[in-house]
A and B are shown apart, each in its own frame.
Chain A
Amino acid sequence: MKVRIGMALAVVAVLVLGAIALTGCGGASSGTTSGSTGATSGQESGTINISGSDTMVNMAQAWAEAYATVNSNAAITVKGGGSGNGIAALLNKTVDFADSSREIKPEEITQGKANAVNPVTTEVARDGVVVIVNSGNALAGITKDQLGKVYRGEITNWKDLGGASAPIVLLGRDSSSGTYAFIQDVVIGKGLNYAKSMRSLQSNQAIVDEVAKNPNGIGYVGLGYESKSIKPLPVGGVTASVSTVLDGTYPLSRGLNMISNGDPTGLAAAYLQWILGPDGQKIVKDQGFVPLSK
């Protein structure tokens, strides 16, 4: 069976044409496959790329899914990876918004200036970082000071916290996580480091799963990741909840932000407004986080 060069070239040509055609087709049908009902014309169209905080990623996806029913001309893409990744992407000019569960750092602002990026932060929700342990753990609570010692590696056994003697299995995120940076700032202390024995897990959910399985585990996750499989520890006597975060009594409260390059315009501005509006904030509540107090 001789493969003729001409036939081979014809096949390649067909593939090329097919690719061009299909990409166009894919674009045309994407509006209908997202199940949109109230498709309104005259709305802004375009693509918004968002990446960053893993704490916020599910909420970001929920926002994107819901917004598609409001404006079917908009394509919102969402990616996790950690607040650090999102901010880096923003500074590399590859995304429109960076989701961040921490404040932007001065070095990042400087790097942004070097790349002609002017970061503007908008708080879109609030969150409390919850300290979680296995549901079988008898510990009733922990102080911020003790938490710092645990995460710096100075306390390594549960008996030093008043429990039975067992080694503490320290779980946390990796350095791209905003939650990692927030805990480092607020609990461990500026300039000091996490214990080297801490296991870096990829995500909030991974920490929940591991703590649920491991009787000696301790970890930190966003408020929206609480679940029946693990037990939250009150910090300094205050339990994390929507009300204690709103009134500021929970010591590990923080803002969840979307950072853009300059003030957002066009579709990005419309999207941000929608998130700050009642529909967006309802999703915040549904996700288990804390909506902005009106």
Chain B
Amino acid sequence: MTDRVMTRNRVRRARAVEAIAKFVMGACLLFAAGMTVAIIGIIIYRGAPSISWAFLSQMPKHQMTAGGIWPAIWGTLMLTLGTALFAVPVGIGAGIYLSEYARRGAGTRLVRLSIANMAGVPSIVYGLFGFSLFVVALKFGTSLISGALTLACLTLPVIIGATEEALRQVPQDLRQASLALGATKLRTTLRVVLPAAAPGIVTGSILGLSRAAGETAPIIFTAVAFFAPLPKTPLDPVMALPYHLYIMATQAVKPAPTVVWGTAFVLVAGVTTAGVLAAAWRSRQRSRIRW
């Protein structure tokens, strides 16, 4: 065979291999994306019919077989609000401190690395911590505040990480220009760098908070009850959507399937709407900023 024929065959074979490889990999991508679509689709299909104003605004009746899930929605909102109150200021402040002010050395690097890795610690460990500290040791009991504080500890590394990442993206030129114009470091940080990093920080915080809203393990023993009226003080237990769903999926006497899937729908809709809006806002901001 001539060289030319051999090369042509080799090329043909390589192209065939490439086509097969692309097909297999594309199929894998389709599987991954398809799973997401299927999950969302099933939840919408089975949950949307349950959604009505009555469902969203009433108390549960007849042991969860009828009525609505209002106290669970309220509880989740309150928990998330409490989490935000504690985690966002401290998280952003810590992120600024670690990124702009702390001494650049191995010690600081270790601290920052450790904080970032706290985000990967299982949520049940945070639940264990929160239970022993807030519920038992500080005697807050199973309450809104115990749950919010526990979730805040969970969310803190996420917000700190998002803040640091956003601050890191701001070019040094901006800081140096501000300093050159005579501003102090504090002014530079607060008036120039922080606003520039704001989209990333806000988005990261919202994503972190929506993750906290969907968490079940940390609140099982720190905040929730199976059945409770709306909390009158932060020291009262609350109902919450993720826990409500967990109980109905595993324990309650024959809850109406409509209630189960409706709760899943509300939870997913709430959590993902926040996340999607945040991500969309961030990409819009990003496309506007030109360094």
Shortest beta-carbon distance from B230 to chain A in Å: 4
List the A side residues contacting B202 at CB < 8 Å.
3
List the A side residues contacting B52 at CB < 8 Å.
none
Establish whether residues B233 and A54, one from each chain, have CB atoms under 8 Å apart when the complex forms.
no
Partner of B237, one of A4, A79, A93: A79
The residue of chain B having its C-beta at the shortest distance from the C-beta of A12 within the complex is B89
CB of B108 within 8 Å of the partner chain: no
CB of A19 within 8 Å of the partner chain: yes
Contact with A along B27-64 (1 / 0, CB 8 A): 00000000000000000000000000000001101111
The residue of chain B having its C-beta at the shortest distance from the C-beta of A3 within the complex is B198
Establish whether residues A47 and B236, one from each chain, have CB atoms under 8 Å apart when the complex forms.
yes
**Docked CA distance A5–B193 (Å):** 11
- Enumerate B225-243 residues with CB–CB distance to A below 8 Å: 225-234, 236-237
Shortest beta-carbon distance from A93 to chain B in Å: 7
Establish whether residues B236 and A75, one from each chain, have CB atoms under 8 Å apart when the complex forms.
yes
CB of A57 within 8 Å of the partner chain: yes
The residue of chain A having its C-beta at the shortest distance from the C-beta of B191 within the complex is A5
Partner of B63, one of A26, A62, A94: A62
List the B side residues contacting A94 at CB < 8 Å.
135-136, 141-142
CB of A249 within 8 Å of the partner chain: no
Shortest beta-carbon distance from A181 to chain B in Å: 18
CB of A244 within 8 Å of the partner chain: no
Known: A23-B233, A27-B231, A75-B229. A205 touches B253 (CB 8 A): yes
- Enumerate A1-49 residues with CB–CB distance to B below 8 Å: 1-5, 12, 15-16, 19, 22-23, 26-27, 29-30, 33-35, 47, 49
- Using a CB–CB cutoff of 8 Å, the interface residues on chain A facing chain B are 1-5, 12, 15-16, 19, 22-23, 26-27, 29-30, 33-35, 47, 49, 51, 54, 57-58, 61-62, 64-65, 68, 75-80, 89, 92-95, 202-203, 205-206, 225
Given contacts A23-B234, A77-B225, A80-B226, 19 further A-B contacts (CB under 8 A): A2-B195, A5-B190, A5-B194, A15-B84, A23-B231, A26-B74, A49-B141, A58-B253, A61-B226, A75-B229, A75-B232, A75-B236, A77-B227, A79-B225, A80-B251, A93-B139, A202-B250, A202-B251, A205-B251
- Using a CB–CB cutoff of 8 Å, the interface residues on chain B facing chain A are 58-59, 61-64, 70, 74, 78, 81-82, 84-85, 88-89, 135-136, 139, 141-142, 190-191, 194-195, 198, 202, 224-234, 236-237, 247, 250-254, 285, 288
